[in-house]
Amino acid sequence: MNEYKVTVKNGSSTILVEVIKAEDERDVLGTLLLSSELFNQSFTDIRILSV
């Protein structure tokens, strides 16, 4: 498992900053969408960086 820092923004506003443990970036995105409220929010940018 690797650690990834995830930052989600809507324009210039930061909605979420979280560190997620996952196998790869695809797993991070799936975990993020399943475990958060992002389904109900607008967002313009998701950044996933290896920690």
For 1-51, write each residue's pLDDT tens digit: 999 999 999 999 999 999 999 999 999 988 888 877 777 788 899 999 999
Task: Specify the residue for token string 């979420």.
Answer: 16
d(Cα 41, Cα 51) in Å, to the nearest integer? 26
Q: What is the pLDDT of residue 41?
A: 80
Is residue 20 within 8 Å of residue 28, measured between CB atoms? yes
d(Cα 31, Cα 13) in Å, to the nearest integer? 22
To which H or E segment does residue 11 belong? none
Which two three-digit tokens encode residue 36?
A: 């958060």
Query: What does the chain come to in residues?
Result: 51
